[in-house]
Amino acid sequence: MDIGKVPNSILEKIVFKNLRRGRSEVIIRPGIGEDCSAIDFGEYTCVLSSDPITGAAKEIGRLAVHICCNDVASCGVEPIGLLVTVLCPPEASEQELEMIMKQLSESAASINVDILGGHTEITTAVTRFVITCTAVGRCMRDKLITTSGAKAGDYLIMTKHAGLEGASIIAHEKEGELIDELGTEAVNRAKGFIHDISVVRDGIEAADFGANAMHDVTEGGILGAVWEMCEASGNGADIYVDKIPVDTVTKQICDFYSIDPLKLISSGSMLISAPDGEGMVKHLKNSGIQATIIGRLNNTGKKMMISGDKAVIIPPPAPDELYKVV
């Protein structure tokens, strides 16, 4: 199998079909496009999500915190705590472990999340640090938002810009050769995107205004996120390529490595489905969050990418463009 997230077809054929469905308290179960699970505790719902960090070696602690908490935020929920597992290769140093722990602690504190516990191990099973986080949040039961809640006629809004996480990872991992090509200023700008990858505020603000659905834009990029939201909700979509914001330095990095920024991992961007697109954009911008309407859902079942007078079907997500570079 190819490196990256397991394809949706294999998830359905092998992974999901082998999962037992026994507890009535579970109200969100594994499914294409769903970022979290949720458990009914009466008046409240507990929301949980797990994610590993495997596609980066630098800034791994910061990425681990935000990627996992972003999933919880896609339900319109503020994350409360994290369980963290750190697997260290035998050649790892105490200094490297301390750096990762500082990154975890600082990033969690920046979004008011506590690290609740976890596990730390040295093992020959890995050749570099691997971190897995489980985030926990809580909301009133009637406030829970799911990816499947998107409705035909809703506008699709994305926050920030496409490919920002991927551009940051590549800038950190390939800093030397990128400086030779793009210059120090451009590379430092891309590296700085690491500080923009939280969408906790994006999710909470969008939920407060009236989002029907949200989906954190991760592997597969913005086009993958659109495909998964459509799949989860049973809708089609028209996406206007010219409306999708891509930062200049992200485009430069993608051009240099011949990869597509619209299919590049984009934590830091939230895909939002809402009936009042203009109102949602205004609300987010008033909260200091960049937001753009990029398309609209429909009931055709067709997922279309439109550029000028050309319309192309959006395919299911393939392995992320990041893995062509790092």
- pTM value is 0.92
Domains 8-143 and 147-324 share a fold: no
CA dist 56 and 9 (Å) reads: 25
CA dist 163 and 107 (Å) reads: 21
CATH 3.40.50.11310 is held by the domain 8-143? no
The pLDDT, as a whole number, for residue 32 is 87
Could you list the pLDDT tens digit for every one of the 326 residues in the chain?
Answer: 788 888 888 998 999 899 988 899 999 999 888 889 999 999 999 999 999 988 777 889 999 999 999 999 999 999 999 999 999 999 999 999 999 999 999 999 999 999 999 999 999 999 999 999 999 999 999 999 999 999 999 999 999 999 999 999 999 999 999 999 999 999 999 999 999 999 999 999 999 999 999 999 999 999 999 999 999 999 999 999 999 999 999 999 999 999 999 999 999 999 999 999 999 999 999 999 999 999 999 999 999 999 999 999 999 999 999 999 98
The pLDDT, as a whole number, for residue 122 is 97
Judge contact between 5 and 319, C-beta under 8 A.
yes
Judge contact between 30 and 15, C-beta under 8 A.
yes
Task: Print the SS3 string covering 150-181.
Answer: CCCCCEEEEECCCCHHHHHHHHHHCHHHHHHH
The pLDDT, as a whole number, for residue 187 is 97
CA dist 287 and 49 (Å) reads: 26
Superfamily of domain 147-324: PurM-like C-terminal domain (3.90.650.10)
The pLDDT, as a whole number, for residue 168 is 96
Judge contact between 269 and 158, C-beta under 8 A.
yes
Could you tell me which of 244, 228, 217 has the C-alpha nearest to residue 315?
228
The pLDDT, as a whole number, for residue 252 is 98
Tokens describing residue 149 = 């809640």
Find all residues with CB under 8 Å of 162, minimum gap 6, and list them: 217, 221, 222, 244, 245, 246, 250, 261, 262, 264, 266, 269
First to last CA, the chain: 17
Domains of the chain, by residue range, sit at 8-143, 147-324
The pLDDT, as a whole number, for residue 48 is 97
